[in-house]
């Protein structure tokens, strides 16, 4: 069942033949991630933190966009950076680039 409020949106998603309920919470979002440790490399953690902090002012816009349709939520699950970039949510390109760089650095670090 799809539900939407100002601070949260939920929807059903199917992947590989399995159905999942996905919920995005604005009040449990980027601020908690900004204080997380992702790797043992503090420089990488700091880059990721800075990216989340830069994105925090746009969190409600992201939740609102996701809430517009299950398809938007699916796009965000599959590739959040691409979804933010293509959805024209008002996120400046320099912040999107910061997110891309932090994401690439994190993936590279985790693959080591």
Please give the DSSP secondary-structure letter assigned to residue 86. Answer: H
Range of the domain at 66: 27-111
Instruction: Quote the pLDDT of residue 100.
Output: 93
Instruction: Quote the pLDDT of residue 83.
Output: 93
Place of tokens 């939740």: 63
Indicate whether 1 pLDDT > 80.
no
- Is 101 domain-assigned? yes
- Is 37 domain-assigned? yes
- Is 1 domain-assigned? no
Number of domains in the chain: 1
- Is 8 domain-assigned? no
Q: Roughly what angle, to the nearest 10 degrees, separates helices 93-111 and 42-55?
A: 150
pLDDT per position as a tens digit, 43-95: 888 888 888 889 889 988 888 898 888 888 888 888 989 999 999 889 999 99
- Is 13 domain-assigned? no
- Is 9 domain-assigned? no
pLDDT per position as a tens digit, 27-47: 555 555 555 667 778 888 888
**Is the distance from CB of 101 to CB of 54 less than 8 angstroms?**
no
- Is 86 domain-assigned? yes
The model's confidence at residue 96, banded by pLDDT at 50, 70 and 90, is very high
Q: How far is CA 52 from the centre of its chain?
A: 9
């Amino acid at each position: 069942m799809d539900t939407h409020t100002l601070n949260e949106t939920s929807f059903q998603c199917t992947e590989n033949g399995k159905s999942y309920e996905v919920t995005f919470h604005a009040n449990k979002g980027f601020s908690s991630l900004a204080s997380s440790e992702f790797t043992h490399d503090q420089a990488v953690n700091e880059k990721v933190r800075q990216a989340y902090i830069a994105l925090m002012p746009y969190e409600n816009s992201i939740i609102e966009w996701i809430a517009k349709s299950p398809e938007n939520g699916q796009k965000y699950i599959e590739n959040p950076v691409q979804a933010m970039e293509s959805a024209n949510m008002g996120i400046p390109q320099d912040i999107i680039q910061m997110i891309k760089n932090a994401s690439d650095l994190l993936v590279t670090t985790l693959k080591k």
